[in-house]
Structure 1
């Protein structure tokens, strides 16, 4: 039931009860027309199913996030990332109904210009800011669905622009990968090879067992990954969503892995290919130490281990593999992820046109007897670097 009444002080009070037996909601205004407009808005929201109880938004962002997070089915790594993002906000104690776009913009600005203890402002990378923003935004969208707030205050907030993938990506050359293999410790060489020639992520390569490899079929089954726990221990769990896959191995990689397994003291199907502490596979800190040693010895101090995965992807693309083939080989959740990362490596229409015309020209001139054309063409072809 809704009504409007005039108070003794001359102001107007609109009131309604959203649900039978529910608490009455009121608002006082100077003019009757304003009270009527507000009452009409609340009534419309009730009818259309978009009603938000004004009292529900009194809870702070922090309190709502903790209650919302407790209901989510997250992997441990996701839970840590979500908590890190939520606790970095500058509006933890602000009531949800008071949250506006400027709160979100101020937080983003703080992340961009944060002092990280280096003596001068040096904010988070654009990709890190985007990840934290999206994690917090998930909670805000949850609040909209829970009818705590009427709209997502992060909608339309601009984020710092990251570098284009074709500029930011560092692709190792074949010579650099060869130098890294040569410089790696003997027991780490197969690890580097699995990243460079099978595209495995660090955690996936660390979690490979002898039984995951079919030497006769030349395949490797990716079905688990290693994650480092807070106390320094190791957690074994399923790969990232959509990353379970079969990787088809090159003959040379099979040879490298066979030689590595031949040196292992135990060769059962459940034996780890690589070893960390206490009989466990290595976690990222251990692998990071091995990697830094190898890249320094190879004279490539800026190459990251994950760049070997890019090297593998670039090789598949150069060999003519389509998007879906590369997606499945890398274990991406969708072809969109693959394209967003590697679109710049695929030949453009201009490249394909030029290549097609060149093939036709080569075939035609190979049959030509015109001395003034054919010899000069063949000389130009032979002078091209191989």
Structure 2
């Protein structure tokens, strides 16, 4: 079998090489196999790829894989592991007529047309339909793109053309930073003891709702074994919520939490404030106190500095002060 073992980035990988004389012409192809597969899986995949090459180059069949083929393979192999499996499959099924027969190697023109159709207020027969927002369109295309990438990973298509897809850009970034006064007004209006405690903890820790509900309290602080970025983290406990950390244990469901939160924010006169905004409020408080963005990102558990940069506009005053120091004398230095 045309399989060889190589080392790439310090890891053992398998590489498939196809070199044959077919109908008087020399054909040579090479492809790196997916990481983590066994030798047997590599051999099986190599057999399939070799058969596909012979079939295509000898004219036995047309080398065309549709987006529908990619989606079907993805659903069959990975569908049972998707956390949002039911929602994803309903969306893929709904839009299947628009992508099922589309060649997976010709994505630019198709995606442009598809985005236009999803934005339209009428269907192909002229009947009224609800246009999708760019955020919803991006979600649909993300599912389709994931299936095409998977098909490329397992060797169903030779080239990943998803970079040519036209996908609307969406800015979901919020710019509401609740101050302590707003937080206290909502907390005081909250009738549910656990949610009232969570409101204060969120503001004084920067933790997300799910993190607050599952965090363990230790001497070092709030301990999280699993976070959004996949890394464990410890958040020091602010003195103003130290008593709550010791006494309150969260037992309510997410639905109960949301109901109590919505009632509290409305009663306090802040109906548009989201619980997640309290996390932004915590970041704002730290930055206004002179804490650098790198440290703020560490408290919030950001894996990348890109996530923390959303707060960079809050340091404008300090940037101005820094610029003002240019050219100032220090002792006898000019």
Asked if 1:194 corresponds to 2:201, the answer is yes
- Within a 5 Å distance, the mapping from 1:33-48 to structure 2 comes to 46-47=28-29
2-structure distance, mates of 1:186, 1:164: 30
Partner in structure 2 of residue 13 of structure 1: none
1-structure distance, mates of 2:70, 2:133: 26
Aligned-residue offset at 1:318: 2.1
User: Aligned in 2, Cα 1:349/1:206: closer, same or farther, shift over 3 Å?
Assistant: closer
Partner in structure 1 of residue 170 of structure 2: 162
2-structure distance, mates of 1:246, 1:352: 33
Partner in structure 2 of residue 343 of structure 1: 312
Partner in structure 2 of residue 123 of structure 1: 132
Which residue of 137, 140, 144 maps to 1:136? 144
Which residue of 230, 234, 243 maps to 1:246? 234
Partner in structure 1 of residue 260 of structure 2: 290
Which residue of 169, 173, 182 maps to 1:176? 182
Select between 295-304 and 184-193 the one with higher mean Cα deviation. 184-193
1:144 and 1:152 in contact (8 A); partners too? yes
**SS state at 2:162 partner:** coil
Asked if 1:352 corresponds to 2:321, the answer is yes
Partner in structure 1 of residue 210 of structure 2: 203
Aligned-residue offset at 1:76: 4.5
**SS state at 1:169 partner:** coil
1-structure distance, mates of 2:283, 2:62: 50
Aligned residue-pair number:
280
1:144 and 1:151 in contact (8 A); partners too? yes
2:66 and 2:100 in contact (8 A); partners too? yes
Deviation digits for residues 297-344 of structure 1 (CA, Å, limit 9, x no counterpart)? 1100111111111111222222233333222222223222222x3333
Partner in structure 2 of residue 363 of structure 1: none
**SS state at 2:261 partner:** helix
2-structure distance, mates of 1:291, 1:114: 35
**SS state at 1:300 partner:** coil
User: Aligned in 2, Cα 1:124/1:326: closer, same or farther, shift over 3 Å?
Assistant: same
Partner in structure 1 of residue 10 of structure 2: none
User: Aligned in 2, Cα 1:120/1:141: closer, same or farther, shift over 3 Å?
Assistant: closer
**SS state at 1:320 partner:** coil
Partner in structure 2 of residue 319 of structure 1: 289
2-structure distance, mates of 1:352, 1:333: 29
1-structure distance, mates of 2:109, 2:240: 57
Consecutive unaligned residues in structure 1, runs of 5 or more: 1-17, 26-38, 224-237, 262-272, 277-281, 361-386
2-structure distance, mates of 1:176, 1:142: 46
User: Aligned in 2, Cα 1:350/1:138: closer, same or farther, shift over 3 Å?
Assistant: same
User: TM-score when scaled to structure 2?
Assistant: 0.68
User: Aligned in 2, Cα 1:322/1:82: closer, same or farther, shift over 3 Å?
Assistant: farther
**SS state at 1:288 partner:** helix
User: TM-score when scaled to structure 1?
Assistant: 0.60
Aligned-residue offset at 1:354: 5.7
